[in-house]
Amino acid sequence: MRIEEGLHLVMSGGGGFDLTDAFDCNVFLVAADGGWLMFDAGAGRDPQGVFDVLAEDGIDPSSVRHLLLTHGHADHSGGAAALRERLGLTVHAGAATAAMVSQGDEEGISLGKAKRGGVYPPDYVYHACPVDSVWQPDEVRRFGDVAVQMILTPGHSHDHVSYLVTTPRRKMLVAGDALFHGGKVAIQDIRDCDVGAICETVRKLATIEFDTLLPGHHAFTLKHARRHADLALQCVDRMQIPPSII
């Protein structure tokens, strides 16, 4: 789904726009350096789905050269292995995510608990994926005229990172599950979800300038995106926990 020139939504499930498989998170493509950066990989239950969307959008799959993961949860990283195998793209992640995704650590990414609880079907298969490039906290890399900074945003899970993507046109926060439209967060009863850390991450994100919010689920927003961080910050400042999408 073309959002505008250089920005596409190519996967999105039941917690979003029902573009691809119900379990997929929002997956965005950003034009960079004559190709595309992909942010997150969906659940991998329907590996063909994203290729159908790319075809509809007129995007040559081989031009998707980099995949950047926000965290290891299966709805964000489960599709990585198939994409890497089929496209030969470079997979990027923070160190904690890389350790779990490359090992296929189902308990680490809380997939074991999610299967036992019926959140994921018991026959869902997670495919471990080698991570080619591990980023340091706050590291900035350039892809042509696009700059990407990795920001540690733990809380929803211990390994969570977000990406601040600066293009000639926009300053975008690819927030994964750290911040959502309306100033919401994502709180789950999993081993590494930490409400205190979520609130600290809200404080950190509220210090960053961005105009576009591209979250892992629900609506994205193309203008005045800081208002969502400010709504979450208002809760935190009142010693309240921002509302959760879950």
Binding region for Zn ion (CB under 5 A):
73, 177
Residue number, 46 or 177, with CB nearest to Zn ion: 177
In angstroms, give the least distance from the CB of 13 to Zn ion: 12
Residue number, 20 or 188, with CB nearest to Zn ion: 188
Token pair of 165 as six digits: 């993507």
With contact defined as beta carbons under 8 Å apart, do 183 and 234 qualify? yes
Residue number, 177 or 192, with CB nearest to Zn ion: 177
In angstroms, give the least distance from the CB of 197 to Zn ion: 14
In angstroms, give the least distance from the CB of 42 to Zn ion: 12
- With the CA atoms of 149, 154, 155 and 159 taken in that order, what torsion angle do they form, in degrees rounded to the nearest 10? 120
Residue number, 25 or 91, with CB nearest to Zn ion: 25
68 forms beta bridges with 39, 92
Instruction: Tell me 11's DSSP state.
Output: E
% helix / strand / coil in the chain, to the nearest 5? 25, 25, 50
In angstroms, give the least distance from the CB of 73 to Zn ion: 3
| Residue of closest CB approach to Zn ion | 73
Helices and strands (H, E) in the chain, number of each type = 7, 12
